[in-house]
Amino acid sequence: MATKNHISTTINGESKEFLCEPRQTLLEVLRDELDLKGVKEGCGTGDCGSCSVMFDKRLACSCLILAVEAEGRTVETVEGMASGETLHPLQRQFLEHAALQCGICTPGFLIAGKALLEKNPDPDEAEIRLALAGNLCRCTGYDKIVRAVQDAAREMRNS
């Protein structure tokens, strides 16, 4: 039986501690230990982007990170995007544009979109598509997602 490791980390701006086995992924711990169910598992192999988080300010698939690696790092998930009752512009534009159907990929797209807009506040369509190419959506055909990111970028530039 594996010994559990004690990990101290920062998640969505709050200090957190948890115990995990060395083989547990960050995704498992976020979902099963810390109850952050907005982080979704679609593949477990880093191919679909549903489990996207910001890991030390870098976009990453939490299924490809071991939970022990979170020691001393910062993790941001979809649960941290809204400020209280105020949605992030990306969240609001996804709703306005009907950019989600089933919604399972949506948290990952929101995180990937946020990562893009933090680096590039005025991306063109090709840059948006490239930035979202690590996230799979099977429902929308991406049209409304791309438009939602465009409008969120516009809104954020004007604010």
Partner 1 sequence: MKTSEREFKVIGTRPVRHDGIDKVTGRALYGADHSLPGMLHGRVLRSPHAHARILSIDTSRAQAMPGVHAVITGDDLPSVPDRTEALGEGTTNANDLSNNLLAKGKVLYDGHALAAVAATSAHLAEEALDKIEVQYEVLPPVMDVRAAVAEGAPLLHETLRTAGVPESKPSNIAKVIEFARGDLDEGFAAASVIVEREFTTAMVHQGYIEPHNALAKVDADGQITLWCSTQGSFDIRSLCAKVLQIPLSRLKVIPAEIGGGFGGKTTVYLEPLAIRMSQISGRPVHMVMSRNEVLRATGPTSGSVIRLKMGANAHGKIVAADALLDYEAGAFPGSPVLMGAVVIFAPYALENFRIVGRDIVVNRPRTAAYRAPGGTNAAFASETLLDELAEKLAIDPIEIRRRNATCEGVQAPWGPRMQKVGYEELLDAAQSHPHYSAELPPPNGPLVYGRGFAGGGWGNAGLQSSAILSVNNDGTATLVTGSPDIGGSRTSCAMIAAEELGLEAADVRPSVADTDTIGYTDVTGGSRVTMATGLAVFEAAQDVKRQLRERAARMWECPEEGIVFEDGDAIRPNGERLSLAAIAGKAGRTGGPVIGRATVNANRANGPSFAGFLVDVEVDTETGKVGILRGTVFQDAGRAIHPAYVEGQMQGGSVQGIGWGLGEEYIYSNEGKLENASLLDYRIPTALDVPLIEAVIIECPNPAHPLGIRGVGEASIVPPPAAIANAVAAATGKRLPVLPLSPPRVHAALQTGD
Question: Which residues of this protein are in contact with partner 1, per CB under 8 A?
Answer: 21, 23, 31, 36-45, 47-48, 50, 77-79, 81-82, 87, 91, 94-98, 100-107, 110, 125, 128-130, 132-147
The answer to whether 5 touches 20, Cβ cutoff 8 Å, is yes
Using the minimum distance from each CB to partner 1, give the nearer residue, 6 or 138: 138
DSSP annotation of 32 reads I
State the nearest-atom distance from the C-beta of 106 to partner 1, in Å.
6
- DSSP secondary structure of 118-130: HH-SS--HHHHHH
State the nearest-atom distance from the C-beta of 95 to partner 1, in Å.
4
Using the minimum distance from each CB to partner 1, give the nearer residue, 70 or 94: 94
Give the torsion through C-alpha atoms of 25, 91, 58, 128, to 10 deg. 120
Please, what is the Cα angle at 54 between 78 and 159, to 5 degrees? Answer: 70
Using the minimum distance from each CB to partner 1, give the nearer residue, 36 or 75: 36
Using the minimum distance from each CB to partner 1, give the nearer residue, 57 or 82: 82
* Alpha carbons 77 and 134: distance in angstroms, whole number: 16
Using the minimum distance from each CB to partner 1, give the nearer residue, 4 or 8: 4
* Alpha carbons 105 and 108: distance in angstroms, whole number: 6
Structure tokens at 46: 């880093």
